[in-house]
Amino acid sequence: MGKRIAAKITGVAGYVPPRVVTNFDLEKIVNTTDEWIRTRTGIRERHYADSGVASSHLGTEAAKKLLDAKGLSADEIEMIVVATVTPDMLFPATACLIQDRLGASHAWGFDLSGACSGFIYALTTGAQFVGAGTHKKVLVIGSDVMTSILDYTDRATCVLFGDGAGAVLLEPATSDAEGIVDFANDVDGSGGCNLYMPAGGSLHPASAETVQKRMHYVHQEGQQVFKYAVRRMAELACQLLERNGVSSRDLALVVPHQANLRIIRAMQERLGVDDSKVMVNIDRFGNTTAATIPLGLMDAVEQKRLRQGDLVLLIAVGAGYTTGAVLLRWSY
């Protein structure tokens, strides 16, 4: 067995802004077509935040939905971990803004930047505090407004992303038959140049030059990212399963990061998992970065695809490169 953590997910909720942008809408502003986008990515539509709506707003709405569903008050939350690469601002942390909007007066928290693996990283981080016995209710949120950093002259990237947020509640597990069984996270920094935003940090602070050179947008080498994601997601998933004495046949559901349907299907084929055991909602949301996995869990719950005790695999690859996977027994 691996690194069992005595923490379990006891609640999940998501929120996407109401404005829907279809591939046909993008045809009007970008040199692309619905057929081109669908066949290469699997995306049909995505949600866009309006001007002035930031990651903290989306994250707060997801958290409110979760708390309402659980019948909890915000002051019962002890910790908030927010995964995002589109914080409202460099500081204060988005977690601070969400804490204030929720009125979570007894919570501390911070942001975590892991790109598309961010939610997995935040989940395993929050779970450590629960598993250590120091916290009983931890809110883990993935929230991104990717449209704020998209270059609409780059048709290869701007069609991929949408805006959204998802949240889960972590609480102590009471038996070995529930909760997080194990996790595996890693990075390969040599791939950072293939998916990044060049400016906005201390290396290239915002200036007239960085704006003119369009350095405040997502830059991606699509083929390199695709190859790495397919290979590494399958490798890490197999390592995690083998380490815990189970196989892909034992999985009830795989919730992968929703970056590209072809990446999901290629990873799925290598694992030998049937379509019925893979959560796919990229067609409706696009790539919402840190929000894709909690939104996937939300859909799985609403579609009644999870039962008590089911073995579930969460897995993602993101910029960095970052990779993360969590194996858990569902106990919602």
Q: What is the pLDDT of residue 1?
A: 47
CA distance 291 to 281: 12
Run of H or E including 239? helix 222-243
Active site residue 135: no
Q: State how far the Cα of 82 lies from the Cα of 168, in Å rounded to an integer.
A: 11
Under 8 Å between Cβ of 23 and 45: yes
Q: Is 204 a catalytic residue?
A: no
pLDDT value at residue 25: 98
Contact 184, 324 (CB under 8 A): yes
Distance CA 11, CA 70 (A): 7
CA dist., res. 104 & res. 82, Å (int): 14
pLDDT at position 2: 58
Catalytic position from the list 185, 194, 260, 287: 287
Whether residue 126 contacts residue 64, with contact meaning beta carbons closer than 8 Å, is answered with no
For 311, phi then psi, to 5°, come to -85, 125
pTM score: 0.97
Distance CA 38, CA 284 (A): 11
Q: Are 84 and 60 in contact (CB under 8 A)?
A: no
Q: How far is the C-alpha of 204 from the C-alpha of 143, rounded, in Å?
A: 25
**Residue 96 annotated as catalytic:** no
pLDDT value of residue 3: 65
- Residue tagged active-site, from 96, 194, 257, 281: 257
Marked catalytic residue, from 47, 57, 96, 116: 116
* pLDDT tens-digit profile, the chain (332 residues): 456 789 999 999 999 999 999 999 999 999 999 999 999 999 999 999 999 999 999 999 999 999 999 999 999 999 999 999 999 999 999 999 999 999 999 999 999 999 999 999 999 999 999 999 999 999 999 999 999 999 999 999 999 999 999 999 999 999 888 999 999 999 999 999 999 999 999 999 999 999 999 999 999 999 999 999 999 999 999 999 999 999 999 999 999 999 999 999 999 999 999 999 999 999 999 999 999 999 999 999 999 999 999 999 999 999 999 999 999 999 97
Task: Taking each helix axis as running N to C, give the angle between helix 261-271 and helix 34-41, from 0 to 180 degrees, rounded to the nearest 10.
Answer: 20
Report the C-alpha gap between 73 and 87 in whole angstroms: 25
